[in-house]
Amino acid sequence: MTKAMIPLMRPSPHGARVVNVSSRLGRVNGRRNRLANVELRDQLSSPDLLTEELIDRTVSKFINQVKDGTWESGGWPQTFTDYPMSKLAVNAYTRLMAKELERRGEEEKIYVNSFCPGWVKTAMTGYAGNMPPEDAADTGVWLSLVLSEEAVTGKFFAERREINF
């Protein structure tokens, strides 16, 4: 959907923005919930090796292993497995889109980033989160409005700070 929307985005002196909502649980090299396959982690972490085909292949392999019941031995994240895999794909696609769009001229610049809103008090968390939605939205709004002189692309943020994918 993001790719289909790119031609519809209006040029701006400050650059257009794509801000994807993600999660720290989708980090390729997260301490608690990382991919066990080192080669796949390296491929998904490398801007030079990252492709849409790699992302699609990774997600398809995960889905097929879930269907046939072998996902636990597949090296996938073990905690809330489906959610981290969806966010891993969002983070990888964020970096890929940023790489593909960085060649655009200043008047057509599009900044693409993702952010983790944190543990939010919503129905998804059973209202057990530690922050209200309006506070969780702060980083996403900030990424949408930051001046072009300060803007970056292809990065992952939480609490208005860049964090590792």
What domains sit in the chain, N to C, each tagged with a CATH number?
A: 2-163 (3.40.50.720)
For 131, which DSSP code?
B
Structure tokens at 138: 């702060």
Cα distances (Å, whole numbers) of residue 22 to 25, 70, 115: 8, 26, 5
Per residue in 67-98, is it b (16+ CB within 10 Å) or e — as a string?
eeeebeebbbbeeebeebbbbbbbbbbbbbbb
Quote the Cα angle for 93-75-161, to 5°: 40
- Compute the mean pLDDT over every residue in the chain, rounded to the nearest whole number: 91
Kindly tell me if the per-residue pLDDT of 32 is higher than 80. no
- Span 29-34, mean pLDDT? 77
- Span 126-152, mean pLDDT? 90
- Span 24-51, mean pLDDT? 89
Structure tokens at 1: 């959907």
- Span 118-147, mean pLDDT? 89
Structure tokens at 159: 């609490």
What is the band of 103 on the pLDDT scale with cuts at 50, 70, 90? confident
What is the band of 70 on the pLDDT scale with cuts at 50, 70, 90? very high
The per-residue pLDDT for 146 is 92
Please, are residues 117 and 140 in contact by the beta-carbon 8 Å criterion? yes
State the catalytic residues. 83
Polymer length of the chain? 165
What is the band of 23 on the pLDDT scale with cuts at 50, 70, 90? very high
Provide the whole-model pTM.
0.91
